[in-house]
Homo-oligomer: A and B are copies of this chain.
Amino acid sequence: MKRRERLKQEKEARILDAAAAVFSGKGYHGATIRDIAARADVADGTIYNYFDNKFDLLVAILTRVSQSEQLGAELTQALDQDARDFFVAAFRDRLARIEAGEEMLKAVLPQVFVNEELRRQFYQQYVRRIAGLLEPYVQAQVDRGRIAPVNVPLVTRLVQSAFVGLLVMRILGDEALRAGWDDVPELMATMVFDGLAAAAGAPGAQEAAPARATVEG
């Protein structure tokens, strides 16, 4: 009985793996149930014993990935670390993680733009949820005076956007990005925390910056 149960889960996983691989390679519409069945080494019909329909596979893929995340704990523990160091570490971690999930992303993302339901779900699980974790952290840093008093939600979105953009650019196959991939977290941190303005003796960077940062409205 238990074994029965486990076998079932294994097969479900195998199907999902196959689906992710095939979707990622040929796109959602380019992939056929037969492709997936063949890759999962089951019959076409078998898939329908585990999932309602093709679209369901997509949703399942999306959901499965977002479960292994536990950013929350990290963040609360990180409140007292150096913000910049933590940013670098966390950003690097996320990038590595998503690198592994790049297949999923290539499978799901295109349909995210197309399908309302999927979009909501993706947004909820990948943007909203993360934002809900990040914002309090950023706010706390602001409160502690470590970060300038910015528009916290917007800043969070900007960082998230940059993150998403990086993945998109990576999928697009940009060479410069791929070459400098390992330096991205550091450089990102430099930009976010310190800015690129040549500070040395440049009054602009030291005076104007804070003044402007209040713009947030």
Contacts and interface: CB of A to CB of B under 8 A. Distances in A.
Interface stretch (A9-17, A56-64, A172-180): A172-180
Contacts of A183: 151, 154, 215-217
A56 to B, nearest CB: 17
Given A123-B174, A172-B122, A206 B216 contact: no
Interface residues of A, number: 78
Interface of A: 26-30, 83-84, 106, 109-115, 119, 122-123, 127, 131, 145-151, 153-158, 160-166, 168-169, 171-174, 176-177, 180, 183-184, 186-200, 202, 204-206, 208-210, 212-213, 215-217
10 pairs of A and B residues whose beta carbons are closest in the complex:
A165-B165, A194-B209, A151-B216, A195-B195, A27-B114, A161-B165, A110-B110, A194-B195, A148-B209, A154-B180
